[in-house]
Amino acid sequence: MDVLTPAELDAIENNPLGDALNPIREALREADSTLGSFQLDGTTDVVEDADAPERPRLFVAALTRLLGIFFGSEAPTLLASRTGGRDLLSDLYAVRSLLRPNDNRTTDIAYQYFRPLSRAVIRRAPDVEIWAAVVHLILATSRSTPPPSAPPSFETPITHSSASQQGSEQSRQVIEDRVFEEIRHCTHRAVEGFHEKYFQGRKWNRRANQIWHRAKSHYSDGDRRWTQLPKKGTEDDVCKWWLNLQKELLANERTAFFRSSGDNRVGTEAQRQLDLFVKLKRDGLKHDWKHVLVVGELKESDKNSKALWLQIGSAVRNVFAAQPTRRFVHAFSLRGTEMENWVYDRSGPYSGAAFDIHDQPEKFIQVMCGYLMMNDEELGLDTFITHKDHRLFAAMSAEPRTSKRKRKLELDANPIAFQRAIVCRGTSCFRARDVGSTELDTVVKFSWTSSKRPPEADLLTKAHERGVKGLAKLVGYCEEVTRISKLREGLVFGTPYKFRDVPGGSGASASQSRLGGQSLQFSSPSVGSNASRKRKSVAETSRVAKRSRSHSSLRKRGADESELSYSIEAPQGTSLVQKDQDLPYDDRILRVLAISPAGRCINQFRSVLELLEALCDAIKVHRSLYLDGKILHRDISENNIIITDPEKSDGFKGMLIDLDLAKEEGKGPSGARHRTGTMEFMAIEVLLGTSHTYRHDLEAFFYVLIWLSARRGWALSRAPAPRKSCLSLWFTGSYQDIARVKRGDMSDQAGLEVILDEFPTEFNHVKPLCKKIRDILFLHRSFTGTPKDPNLLYDPIIAAFDDAIAGIRAGDTETRLEEIYSTI
């Protein structure tokens, strides 16, 4: 094939599609037959009939499934991009955007480009021919279809989080793209008062001034430059000069600047080479992220400054992951001789005015000394936890809103949960015990929650007063340790910095999704600040809800296959992206609470049975929280479910934690923005802007089950885990992209089967459970609608878990479980 290179032909041969296309051929054939004869000019000759609206829907659905199969193959990552992207996989993302159900471009041009590929699959063409058709499709659509422009927005869009990438997925390119999605709308530059706040009026300024007087011998007033710094020095030259200056002027400080080399990089899991960074000298020559105090990156003056900032952001992400209770991180960039000083906190990065180190030598020395002389608080280290004899302690009130009785706890040094992201709640949890006790029976949680949301402690108290069972109990609390507005006190912020372009794979539209088609009855998100736009969104949502109520029904399996209809709750516009009018940034509050009993994060399950029992009990807790407590959790993920000892937790083997994003039923929008989230567990409708209902939390529980089986389950297997997973598409791309992938994965048997094939063999008996829950949640492959009667979903889902658990205990096989489910 002339469009494929010899290397690409080898890659295709070594990664055959095999039988993966078999399940899709009949759907493609059926969809193709509805479009009429295919003309040489690329048009179709279609007979008008009453079923005409079904033709595009069928073809779009079939093509979406087909692309899903391609995404699951290794081949597109080994084939070159035809549009300047990273690989052919990135090209396929753009192609998939043509299949938006409500997009007129699909009707006008997309079918003629997709149809040759469809025909090649239908007639069982060789893999080489199929991939050649894919390449022709990419080339044709990239030439003929201009990229969609992002819709105007008066709102800061919801952003991605880099929390999903772990282990080998933390490649520099992927992480930098995700970091950019976090910071693109909350970066501030040249913040007024920055240098005065962090580098002036400090106890160490007198020492820094003495260092400056000694440094003058290295500076020429006549030439206005540092004499030993080459005029066009490389990064190596600058680092050498910097470290020599430190050796002569700052040799007696407790901290020092280091440079990581190729054979001594920073970290173990996410290794990086840093140009310069600060750490304590006593921490030795081996570099670890938990020791990094300040991050520095150097680049030549002609290098892209945004790329430099993303390198810094990627490093800061690792610092926050290794030091999860860190309040903020100092960083700096040196581009040529222009220095820019940064601070990263949980609401984003901000910098002072850039300056030339030759033109302002005293300021440069002051900054250099500052990074080495700052105390722990000035460096942004955690000061709530105290350290004594290599042990960690925390003291807090025993009850909310009281300081009468303090509880002192000793914390285990290793967190049981933390977030791999910068702009987020930064939730981290540690097992703890009362001082003098031997049992780690408490969990201490640190979290930067929105100032617009009610404290989690209030909701926990209300839940227990209302008789909710299986929820962790509050045993200690600090309502406010500090807040972002306090940390940024004295600074003057303007509007966020506007980046000129977007890295590959993420467009401006990535965060500004305007929903796809009416055929699937998705409601539009209300993200505009204009009141008339909001009213229009609510009106459109109401019309969608009416159509949904008129067409939704629940089919109950039985001898007579009778049909049971249910009423649908009307969805509301999302409240997750309300504009904060008070500040140009999100004001987050650092809160600490202690809860009991302690447990293991559910991703640390030790058997399939333990996993299912914990998940089942967590769903029961969710039902009680919603029905008895009138509180909706809204943040179901693998980090918010714990495995507990039933003897110490009212008989529950699994419990829910983290009500930071929970909402009382009947209460209005909190007014807070939810800027980040755990993408892989978000329900399809939530990804597309519909506000949360209990059904979306149940969908999230289902995704947790799949995720833990396919991604974490390999820890129980003797076989090696697959190098790549199709579940990476659950946190890759825009919100619309992820929703479309999940919709494809849930819409047909083949989509789910591809995922289930990634389960280790030890999880074979979980597969029928997944199929059953899919059928319960996505009745008749419907992706919208929440029954007004919650038990119509809770009861059959819990029953499905109970049957699976009973089957495992009895040693039943997968076949037996299939028989059990077929009779429900």
Confidence (pLDDT) at 162: 47
Pick the residue with more confidence: 766 or 113? 766
222-230 average pLDDT score: 93
Pairwise CA distance, residues 279 & 255, whole Å: 6
**pLDDT of 289-306, one tens digit each?**
999 999 999 998 877 788
pLDDT for res 445 = 95
Alpha-helical regions (H) of 757-813 = 767-777, 791-810
In tens, the pLDDT along 44-60 reads 433 333 334 444 667 77
Any domain includes 668: yes
Alpha-carbon distance of 382 to 384, in angstroms, equals: 6
Distance CA 365, CA 372 (A): 11
Pick from 531, 529, 506: which is nearest to 577 by CA? 529
- Quick one: average pLDDT of 629-634? 94
Query: Quick check: 595 pLDDT over 90?
Result: yes
Question: Which of 822, 757, 746, 821 has its CA nearest to residue 780?
Answer: 746
Q: Which tokens in the block code for residue 747?
A: 């819409």
Q: Is 743 helix (H, G, I), strand (E, B) or coil?
A: helix
Residues 580 and 701 reside in one and the same domain? yes
Nearest Cα residue to 500 out of 715, 180, 81, 255? 180
Instruction: Let me know if residue 548 belongs to a domain.
Output: no
Q: Six-digit token pair at 327?
A: 């309040």
**59-108 residue pLDDT tens:** 777 888 888 888 778 888 888 888 766 678 878 877 876 765 444 433 43
| Residue type (1 letter), 229 | L
Which position has the token pair 């500052």? 370
Q: Which pLDDT does position 589 carry in this prediction? A: 97
Are 773 and 665 part of one and the same domain? Answer: yes
Same domain, 457 and 360: no
Judgement on whether residues 649 and 788 belong to the same structural domain of the protein: yes
- The DSSP 8-state label assigned to residue 286 in this structure reads S
Q: How far is CA 287 from CA 31, 271, 618, in A?
A: 58, 10, 40
Per-residue pLDDT at 521 exceeds 50: no
User: Which residue, of 117, 144, 171, is where some domain finishes?
Assistant: 144
Q: Tell me how many domains the chain contains.
A: 3
Residues 695 and 812 in one domain: yes
| Model pLDDT, residue 538 | 36
DSSP assignment string, 241-277: HHHHHHHHHSTTSSEEEE--BTTB-B-STT-B--SEE
Q: Nearest to residue 131, comparing CAs of 49, 75, 215?
A: 75
Six-digit token pair at 110?
Answer: 């997309």
Q: Identify the pLDDT of residue 85.
A: 64
- The structure tokens 């201009």 sit at 146
d(CA 492, CA 496): 12
Give me the torsion for CA of 317, 319, 322, 328, rounded to 10°: -100
H/E run at residue 474: strand 473-483
At 391 the pLDDT is: 93
pLDDT at residue 528 tops 50: no
Within a domain: 555: no
pLDDT tens digits along 470-481: 898 899 999 999
What's the pLDDT tens digit per position in 696-734? Answer: 999 999 999 999 999 999 989 888 888 788 898 888 777
Alpha-carbon distance of 339 to 202, in angstroms, equals: 21
- Asked if 625 and 463 count as a contact pair (C-beta separation under 8 A), the reply is yes
The size of the chain, in residues, is 824
d(CA 222, CA 86): 49
Position 747 pLDDT exceeds 90: no
Asked whether residue 742 is domain-assigned, the answer is yes
Q: Could you tell me which residue, 241 or 562, shows the higher pLDDT? A: 241
Q: What is the pLDDT of residue 812?
A: 53
Distance of CA 357 to the CA centre of its chain: 38
- Using DSSP's 3-state secondary structure scheme, residue 287 falls into coil
Q: Considering only CA atoms, which of 445, 444, 449, 446 is closest in space to residue 484? A: 449
Helix (H) or strand (E) holding 345: strand 338-345
Are the C-beta atoms of 777 and 701 separated by less than 8 Å? no
Residue numbers of the domain that contains 646: 386-491+572-822
Whether 521 maps to a domain, the answer reads no
Tell me the mean pLDDT in the region 396-411: 80
780 — pLDDT class (breaks 50, 70, 90): low
Taking each helix axis from N to C end, the angle separating 54-71 and 111-122, rounded to the nearest 10 degrees, works out to 60
Q: What is the CATH number of the domain that holds 720?
A: 1.10.510.10
Residues in CB range of 452: below 8 A, 6 or more apart: 578, 580, 670, 671, 672
Nearest CA among 665, 698, 679 for reference residue 800: 698
Output the average pLDDT for the chain.
80
427 and 284 together in one domain: no
Model pLDDT, residue 143: 55
* Domain assignment present for 302: yes
pLDDT tops 80 at residue 496: yes
d(CA 722, CA 158) in angstroms, rounded, equals: 31
d(CA 286, CA 292): 11
Q: What is the pLDDT of residues 314-336, one digit of tens each?
A: 999 999 999 999 999 999 999 99
Q: Radius of gyration over alpha carbons of the chain, in Å? A: 28
Of 364, 379, 394, the residue that ends a domain is 379
- Cβ-contact 117, 164 below 8 angstroms: no
For range 401-415, the mean pLDDT: 83
Residue 37 pLDDT: 47
User: Could you tell me which residue, 534 or 162, shows the higher pLDDT?
Assistant: 162
Q: Exposure string (b/e) for 2-27, b if CB count within 10 Å is 16 or more?
A: eebeeebbebbeebebeebbebbbeb
How far CA 622 is from CA of 43, 532, 597, 700, 802, in Å, comes to 53, 36, 17, 12, 16
**Using 50, 70 and 90 to split pLDDT, how confident is the model at 3?**
confident
Alpha carbon distance 291, 283 (integer Å): 7
Asked whether residue 766 carries a pLDDT value surpassing 90, the answer given is yes
Per-residue pLDDT at 402: 60
250 close to 369: Cβ distance less than 8 angstroms: yes
Are 339 and 391 in a shared domain? no
Residue of higher predicted confidence among 466 and 170:
466
Token duo for residue 472: 């962790």
When pLDDT is cut at 50, 70 and 90, the band that residue 156 belongs to is very low
Q: Are 662 and 645 in contact (CB under 8 A)?
A: no
Tell me how far apart the alpha carbons of residues 137 and 95 are, in angstroms, rounded to a whole number.
8
Residue 127 domain flag:
yes
| Lowest-pLDDT range of 26-35, 577-586, 812-821 | 812-821
CA distance 100 to 111: 12
CATH of the domain at 315: 3.90.1570
DSSP 8-state symbol, 228: T
- Whether the per-residue pLDDT at 20 is higher than 50: the answer is yes
> Of 24, 4, 71, 94, which is closest to residue 755 (Cα–Cα)?
71
Cα–Cα dist 437/409, whole Å: 9
204 contacts 369 by C-beta, under 8 angstroms = yes
Torsion of CA 265, 267, 272, 276, to 10 degrees: -70
Structure tokens at 23: 């399940």
Q: Please say whether the beta carbons of 544 and 523 come within 8 A.
A: yes
C-alpha–C-alpha distance, residues 98 and 145, integer Å: 9
User: How many other CB atoms are found less than 10 A from the CB of residue 397?
Assistant: 20
3-state secondary structure of 679: helix
640 and 783 part of one domain: yes
pLDDT of residue 719: 87
Which stretches of 560-708 are assigned E, i.e. beta strand? 563-564, 588-596, 600-601, 631-632, 641-643, 654-656, 663-664
User: What average pLDDT does the segment 489-511 reach?
Assistant: 67
Q: Please tell me whether residues 753 and 646 are part of one structural domain.
A: yes
Going by pLDDT thresholds of 50, 70 and 90, the confidence category of residue 337 is very high
Residue 31, pLDDT > 60, answer yes
Tell whether 77 and 206 lie within a shared domain: no
Q: What is the mean pLDDT of residues 591-620?
A: 94
Looking at this protein, which amino acid is placed at residue 328? Answer: F
Percent of the chain clearing pLDDT 70 (strictly above):
76
Give dist(CA 675, CA 588) in Å, integer: 12
Backbone angles phi, psi at 639, to 5 degrees: -85, -15
Contact 450, 588 (CB under 8 A): yes
Structure tokens at 176: 């930098």
Structure tokens at 383: 């000061």
The pLDDT tens digits of the residues spanning 247-272 come to 999 999 999 999 987 778 887 666 78
| Residue 652 in domain | yes
pLDDT on residue 666: 76
Q: Enter the pTM of the model.
A: 0.71
* φ, ψ at 807 (rounded to 5°): -65, -40
- Preceding amide of 16 cis, omega within 30: no
SS3 354: coil
The residue among 144, 178, 207 that closes a domain is 144
* pLDDT of 113 higher than 80: no
* 351 shares its domain with 434: no
The segment with the largest mean pLDDT, out of 358-367, 432-441, 462-471, 566-575, is 358-367
Residue 563 clears pLDDT 50, i.e. is over it: no
Q: Which of 223-232, 550-559, 652-661, 765-774 has the lowest mean pLDDT?
A: 550-559
| 457 three-state secondary structure | helix
Is the per-residue pLDDT at 675 higher than 80? Answer: no
- Phi, psi (5° rounding) for residue 738? -65, -40
For residues 106 and 112, what is the distance between their CA atoms, to the nearest angstrom? 10
Mean pLDDT over residues 760-781, rounded? 90
* Cα(157)–Cα(756) distance, integer angstroms: 33
- For the chain, first and last CA: distance in Å? 52
Q: Encode pLDDT of 206-222 as tens digits.
A: 999 999 999 999 999 99
Same domain, residue pair 703 and 798: yes
| Model confidence at 2: pLDDT above 90 | no
